[in-house]
């Protein structure tokens, strides 16, 4: 009678071993698939190092630069000399629409403020200030165009990611860009401590992670596009 439980226990152990073997069985095809390279494996860099002023992407040095100041007027095709440079870089443009009614209310306050300052200067017998007169005319002009739907206002973000083989070459490329743009009264800065966000913003993902914008109306934004 004691021999039967022993046989039963052996059968149960044999069944559990067979179940375990079936559970962990892997076919040769599955082993081959695990060794295949995917698209991410092919395009991914060997390593990524994040620094405050640049990234090391494999063997390349990368720096993202943003535009933060523009002149009063931008002539057509002003950005083409930058695009035609014999350098490796990525450019991203983000155009975020702004509610016209909100802008008109803010412009109305700005016009009242500037007009009050001009009148105060006249009451004190001070000479005319060309800067304030120009600001007043510009504000009134943009108000008229927005009210008549001839123009629209946008938050415009423009970023450039520059590539180089060494950090010295990267600094040289940035200095060249800075010199060309400052000659047009356009000013740029590197995205310090935001290089990773800047690099992701210039990837073809349509995600603006830097969120560094300037208010521009339709005409100067259209002059930025090189398709003229």
Q: pLDDT above 70 covers what percent of the chain? A: 82
Q: What is the pLDDT of residue 170?
A: 93
Least confident of 19-23, 36-40, 68-72, 213-217: 19-23
> Which residues lie closer than 8 Å to 163 by C-beta, 6 or more apart?
57, 60, 61, 62, 87, 88, 89, 170
Query: Confidence band (pLDDT; 50, 70, 90) for 179?
Result: very high
Query: pTM of the full predicted structure?
Result: 0.71
Q: What is the pLDDT of residue 6?
A: 47
| The residue to which tokens 């304030």 are assigned | 132
Domain ranges of the chain: 41-98+152-224, 100-147
Q: What is the pLDDT of residue 29?
A: 64
The answer to whether 156 and 95 have CB atoms below 8 angstroms apart is yes
| Torsion 100-106-110-116 (CA) sign | positive
Q: What is the pLDDT of residues 69-120, one digit of tens each?
A: 888 788 888 888 888 888 889 999 999 888 877 777 887 888 888 888 888 8
Report which of 188, 185, 202, 197 is spatially closest to residue 89, judged by C-alpha positions.
202
């Amino acid at each position: 009678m004691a021999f039967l439980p022993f046989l039963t226990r052996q059968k149960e152990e044999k069944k559990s071993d067979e179940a375990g073997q079936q559970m962990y069985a892997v076919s040769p095809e599955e082993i081959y698939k695990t060794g295949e390279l995917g698209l991410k494996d092919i395009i991914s860099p060997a390593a990524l190092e994040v620094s405050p002023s640049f990234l090391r992407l494999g063997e390349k040095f990368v720096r993202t630069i943003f535009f933060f100041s523009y002149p009063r007027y931008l002539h057509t095709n002003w950005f083409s000399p930058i695009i035609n440079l014999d350098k490796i870089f990525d450019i991203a443009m983000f155009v975020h629409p702004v509610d016209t009614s909100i802008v008109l209310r803010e412009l109305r306050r700005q016009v009242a403020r500037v007009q009050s300052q001009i009148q105060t200067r006249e009451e004190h017998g001070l000479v005319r200030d060309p800067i304030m007169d120009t600001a007043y005319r510009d504000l009134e002009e943009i108000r008229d165009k927005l009210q008549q739907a001839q123009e629209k206002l946008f938050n415009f973000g423009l970023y450039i990611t520059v590539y180089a083989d060494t950090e010295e070459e990267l600094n040289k490329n940035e200095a060249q860009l800075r010199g060309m743009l400052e000659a047009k009264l356009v000013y740029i800065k590197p995205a310090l401590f935001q290089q990773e966000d800047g690099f992701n913003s210039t990837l073809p993902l349509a995600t603006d992670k830097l969120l560094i914008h300037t208010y521009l109306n339709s005409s100067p934004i259209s002059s930025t596009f090189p398709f003229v």
